[in-house]
Structure 1
Amino acid sequence: MIPAGLTTDTPPPPALRVAGLSHAFGAVQALRDVSFDVPRGRFVALLGVNGAGKTTLFSLVTRLYDSTSGTIEVVGHDARRAPGAALARLGVVFQSRALDADLTLRQNLLYHAALHGIAPRQAGPRIDEVLALVNLSDKLHARVTTLSGGQQRRAEIARALLHRPELLLLDEATAGLDVRARADVLALVRGLVAEAGVSTLWATHVMEEINPDDQVVILHKGAVLAQGDARDLAENEDLGAAILRLAEAAP
């Protein structure tokens, strides 16, 4: 069945559409008229130094904050008007650790499955599936405190995938990890995009995590400074240097 308002010639909506989004904390303007799309099945990097507004943007998309202007759509569902439908299609890995350290990995995932309305008889097989995806099947009964930093990050990605989201948001997912663990987490997420078609918005300030053909959105002082393919934005120079050049030229 074709949804109302769509025809066979109508392209599907992007995984994420942010349009004209602004947000303030009192007199402090955190975001100013932010607009960009995350196409389906793509890895999009949200770049910016700490304080650029990346975490505020994630908080608005996930409804931790209520946006005061602009629109946010997750797979065509308005996050303000239909938050249940939007959040059901969204998986999130926040910058701060979110697993209960005193519980086992299985207990954490069972609790999260219940929050998403996954029946107990379905939760077990689904947990096995996502742990296999992140190569943590042997840690099912391990307490979170016994997991390395990289393993905890992979466990949080597994948790975010439990309800089979179409869009995955990751806010500084490699923060605090060593070089090997950071590479492992990044490779895992890129594999999900390539093999499972999971649309991904990857927020980072680490330029080394970006490939030349990645689509990037550069956030600077709460506004979109530039967006496009990393290769085109860099213009034959280091991407970090290109961002610095653009930031210095910004009003």
Structure 2
Amino acid sequence: MTTDAAPHPQGSAPSQPDALVVSGVSHSFGEKRVLDTVSLTVPRGTFAVLLGPNGAGKSTLFSLITRLYDNVTGEIRILGNDVRRTPGAALQRLGVVFQSKTLDQDLSLQQNLLYHAALHGLGRPEAKRRAAEALDIVGLSDRAHEKVRNLSGGQSRRVEIARSLMHRPGCLLLDEPTVGLDIGSRESVINIVRGLVQRQGLGVLWATHLIDEIADTDLVIVLHKGKVLFSGQLPGFLAHTGAKSTREAFRIITGTTSTDEEAA
């Protein structure tokens, strides 16, 4: 693995724990190893893109971070909290948007958010206040009392982002959040999350196979066949591979010739 460590964002103290640290994590399904000694760090105030083709291990890594699977090797820390030793404290600081749709279609936007708030022990008055705030962030405050089934795919994704903010996490995980969305909806979702990084200093791990979702200022983490091949800023990625474009750099480092639609 090649690493070009990302600096801590301006204004954050070096002693503060990073949003997410994964150290030496492996995972297998039977005889098949899907993650091989994976290590990565997402500092606070950083938009990190976990770039890899389908089957690279991105969803498995997310399942380990969120404790859907148990990591039996290595260590995973969220804002300094170990997910195995102190799972409650760790997951309380984590917001998640999974690739699959998880909203209740027959509840309103507000009701979906209030249900999530109740799971985190928030009282109803505070939950309503936070729901209004979160829906305003994603531009859907005027539709709070509509049923989710009336929304477009992009709007539903924005509600899922709002829901992930209800318990005030310091780290966000988003697993292929723009799959199936049109170009306008993709841009809207990405811009909302980038805004959260800038305004709230969240650490974001954004998993995707779409190269055009990477910006010059992002931390780029390339995952291929269960291994981290590169972690660092985009200019370092291009310099390391000698490529002129991100797409070319990905193809060089992974040895693939696939298009975005097929793999990366």
Instruction: Give 1:244 shift.
Output: 1.1
The question of 1:17 aligning with 2:21 is answered yes
1:163 is aligned, of 167, 174, 196, to 167
Instruction: Give 1:107 shift.
Output: 1.3
Instruction: Give 1:163 shift.
Output: 0.5
Cα distance in 2 for residues equivalent to 1:35 and 1:86 = 18
RMSD of the alignment, in Å?
A: 1.2
2:250 is aligned, of 228, 240, 243, to 243
Instruction: Give 1:241 shift.
Output: 1.4
Alignment of 1:1-251 (within 5 A): 11-235=15-239, 236-248=243-255
Amino acid at match of 1:102: D
Alignment partner of 2:77: what SS?
strand
Cα distance in 2 for residues equivalent to 1:142 and 1:28 = 45
Amino acid at match of 1:179: I
Instruction: Give 1:10 shift.
Output: 6.3
Structure 2 segments unaligned to the other structure (5+ residues): 1-12, 257-264
Cα distance in 2 for residues equivalent to 1:167 and 1:227 = 18
Identity %: 54
Q: Which runs of 4+ in 1 moved over 2 A?
A: none
Cα distance in 2 for residues equivalent to 1:227 and 1:123 = 38
Instruction: Give 1:106 shift.
Output: 1.4
- Contact 2:23 2:38 (8 Å CA) reproduced: yes
TM-score (structure 2 length as normaliser): 0.89
Cα distance in 1 for residues equivalent to 2:94 and 2:171 = 5
Amino acid at match of 1:105: L
Instruction: Give 1:105 shift.
Output: 1.0
Deviation per residue, 1:124-146 (Å, 9 max, x gap): 11110100111100110111110
Change (3 A) 1:148 1:39: same
Cα distance in 1 for residues equivalent to 2:230 and 2:201 = 25
Instruction: Give 1:217 shift.
Output: 0.6
Q: How many residues align?
A: 241
Alignment partner of 2:74: what SS?
strand
Alignment partner of 2:103: what SS?
coil
Amino acid at match of 2:84: R
Amino acid at match of 2:254: A
Instruction: Give 1:213 shift.
Output: 2.1
Structure 1 segments unaligned to the other structure (5+ residues): 1-8
